[in-house]
Structure 1
Amino acid sequence: MSASLVVEDLGIRFGGLVALDAVSMRVAPGSIHAVIGPNGAGKTTLLNLVTGLYRPTTGRVALGEETITGLPPHRIAARGVARTFQNTELFAELSARENVLVGLHRHLRYGIAAATLRLPGYRRAEREAARRAERLLALVGLREQAETAAGDLALGQQRRLELARALATRPRLLMLDEPAAGLRASEADELIGVLRRLRDELGLTLVLIDHVMRVVMGVSERITVLNHGRKLAEGTPEEVRRNPAVVAAYLGGAPHDA
């Protein structure tokens, strides 16, 4: 089941540097919401605050009806928040299936004794994990690459494998940090299709950070624009595309060229 995300007046300082300043946004459950802005605008900082890697100086974060501000990352993850990172963090020597099974580990219900003795409960849990890994790989279009080492996959496939591993934690909210970075146009189009399936088939809420406008404009329902740590604009893709302040700060040209 998807969850809403509420960010209210969120801010953080690093010494004398204000990295994020009173940013607010609301992400509807089951929606795809993008956050864009120039380099250094505060986009990844926002993700780090929501997922607990940073503790905010000011403001509040809520997942559904529950305030999660300042909780450690593992407790936020347990409440249904998962994320990917700008650089893929895969186990290169492990197969695609094994990488997904790593993400499924915390859901396996057996103890050390059951694993050591290979009791029926252990075998059932392992079979179910294998089936779920296969389903997740199929969902992101990697069924045929299940036995391929992650390090041997193309970049676009590695990005989708990281998605599958994040999905293994059974999130309600999935936060993606530049999943389209470095992808060719055809790979970006494949990613758009995968993100839509995650929303439509799994009912996830997605928050997407990216510089690839082909993906942002192609998949998002609403967009929040950051600049110098502050919210510059928010609206539908078409509203953002036509916003003169956004064009001047980020897209770099007249609105009809954006």
Structure 2
Amino acid sequence: CSLRRMKSKFLDRPYEPSPMVIGVSGSVAVGKSTTARVLQNTLGKFYPEKNIGLVTTDGFLYSNAELIKRGILTRKGFPESYDMEKLIQFLLDVKIGKPHVKYPVYSHRIYDVISDDYNVLHEPDILIVEGINVLQLPSNQQIYASDFFDFSIYVDAEIDNIEKWYIERFEMLMDLAQDQPDNYYYNYAIGDRDEAIAMAREVWKSVNLKNLQEFIAPTMTRADLIIHKSDNHHIDYLNIKKY
């Protein structure tokens, strides 16, 4: 049987150990996804017998249609744009050892949640949850996503660097979309490049920077480990809480 099904005893009562959950947070474009993938690969090398899952909270965004209906499409990525009840239920199902837990899929190609499409998580021993909102404290919830974390990481960098990486990523996505008419970035890719980049800079300032300063950066103090990155995504120092 799998490690997850191996029974242990506490007070002479059998129980199945719940998976370890690690949260990874930080700004848009700071390198959260890369950090989470490197962590998953590293843990896999050290613990090859373990099932190590990785989930991003992008799938728990409301669909673009729902955001439009609520009048908050321009606040996509802000706390109110996420279905936190669905995210918390997902984390609860994982923690209690539910065998096959579905979670929604987000496509950066179409810039939306894929309707009626789900991935399935199969009894992970370790689960990495990556997203800008994983350390936030939504005002309308009694249980927070971070309540399910055994360890949390915040990826940090200077704002000028994050903005630079955001624009570089935008340009890369445009380049990839040049021959893909169904891609969200296609119209930017075939249009005036300078105008597209100017638009991206405005989105950074009016949306992503605002979200970072008001809702993401304040959660840094809740992390167990802060990874600070300098130019070219080099890690220049780590801050870890004392236990």
Q: Please, what TM-score do these two structures have when normalized by structure 1?
A: 0.35
Q: Please, what TM-score do these two structures have when normalized by structure 2?
A: 0.36
